[in-house]
Chains A and B, each alone.
Chain A
Amino acid sequence: MVRKSSIDEILNHWILAGSCILLSITGFAFLFHLEPVSAAFGGPNTMKDVHNWGGVVFGLSLLYSLRHYIADALEYDADDLQWFKVAGGYLSHKVTVPPMGKYNPGQKLYYLAIVVFGVAIALSGLGMWLMKDNATVMLLSHLVHSVSFIVFVIAVPVHIYLGTVANPGTFKLMISGTLPLDEAKRRYPKWMKAAGKM
Chain B
Amino acid sequence: MARENTNNRKAIMVTPEACIGCRACQVACKSWNQLSGMKTKNNGTYQNPPDLASSAFNLIHFREVPSQENPVRWLFVSRRCMHCDDAGCMKICPSGALFKTNDGAVAYDRNKCIGCKLCVNACPFDVPRYDADNKITKCHQCSDRTNAGMQPACVKTCPTGALKFGDRAELIDDAKKDGFKTIYGEKNLDGLGSVYAFKDEPKLYGMKENPAIPRSLVFWHNYLKPLSVIGLGGVVAAAAFHYLAIGPHKEKDEEV
In the bound complex, do residue A31 and residue B228 qualify as a contact, i.e. CB atoms below 8 Å apart?
Answer: yes
**Does B32 sit within 8 A of A, measured CB to CB?**
no
**Does A165 sit within 8 A of B, measured CB to CB?**
yes
In the bound complex, do residue A142 and residue B246 qualify as a contact, i.e. CB atoms below 8 Å apart?
Answer: no
Per the 8 Å Cβ criterion, residues 202-224 of B in contact with A are 214, 216-217, 219-220, 224
**Does B255 sit within 8 A of A, measured CB to CB?**
yes
Known: A132-B116, A143-B216, A166-B239. A33 touches B96 (CB 8 A): yes
In the bound complex, do residue B228 and residue A138 qualify as a contact, i.e. CB atoms below 8 Å apart?
Answer: no
**Chain A contact patch, size range:** 35 or more
B-contacting 9-mer, from A12-20, A63-71, A74-82, A149-157: A149-157
Known: A31-B228, A38-B95, A139-B214. A90 touches B239 (CB 8 A): no
**Does A28 sit within 8 A of B, measured CB to CB?**
yes
Q: CB-CB < 8 A to A143: which residues of B? A: 216, 219-220, 224
In the bound complex, do residue A138 and residue B220 qualify as a contact, i.e. CB atoms below 8 Å apart?
Answer: no
Most A CB within 10 A of own CB, among B217, B246, B248: B248
Known: A142-B220, A143-B220, A157-B236. A150 touches B231 (CB 8 A): yes
In the bound complex, do residue A153 and residue B232 qualify as a contact, i.e. CB atoms below 8 Å apart?
Answer: yes
Contact pick for A167, options B231, B232, B249, CB 8 Å: B249
Residue of B nearest to A161 (CB): B239
Q: CB-CB < 8 A to A166: which residues of B? A: 239, 242-243, 248-249
In the bound complex, do residue B232 and residue A91 qualify as a contact, i.e. CB atoms below 8 Å apart?
Answer: no
Mask, A85-98, CB within 8 Å of B = 1, is: 00001111100110
In the bound complex, do residue B118 and residue A142 qualify as a contact, i.e. CB atoms below 8 Å apart?
Answer: yes
Residue of A nearest to B114 (CB): A48
Known: A90-B249, A99-B255. A142 touches B216 (CB 8 A): yes
In the bound complex, do residue B231 and residue A132 qualify as a contact, i.e. CB atoms below 8 Å apart?
Answer: no
In the bound complex, do residue B255 and residue A31 qualify as a contact, i.e. CB atoms below 8 Å apart?
Answer: no
Measured in the bound complex, the distance between the Cα atoms of B29 and A60 in whole Å is 48
Please report B residues at the A interface, Cβ cutoff 8 Å.
Answer: 92, 94-97, 111-112, 114-118, 120-122, 214, 216-217, 219-220, 224-225, 227-228, 231-232, 234-236, 239, 242-243, 246-252, 254-256
The 9 residue pairs across chains A and B that have the minimum distance between CB atoms: A30-B94, A33-B96, A44-B95, A132-B117, A161-B239, A138-B121, A153-B232, A48-B114, A154-B231
Please report A residues at the B interface, Cβ cutoff 8 Å.
Answer: 28, 30-33, 35, 38, 43-45, 47-48, 89-93, 96-97, 99, 128, 132-133, 135, 138-140, 142-143, 146-147, 149-150, 153-154, 157-158, 161, 165-168, 185-187, 189
Could you write out 28 A-B pairs with CB less than 8 Å apart? A30-B95, A43-B111, A44-B94, A44-B96, A44-B112, A45-B114, A47-B114, A48-B95, A48-B114, A135-B121, A139-B216, A139-B217, A142-B216, A142-B220, A146-B225, A149-B228, A150-B231, A154-B231, A154-B234, A157-B235, A157-B236, A158-B235, A165-B248, A166-B239, A167-B249, A168-B248, A186-B251, A187-B255
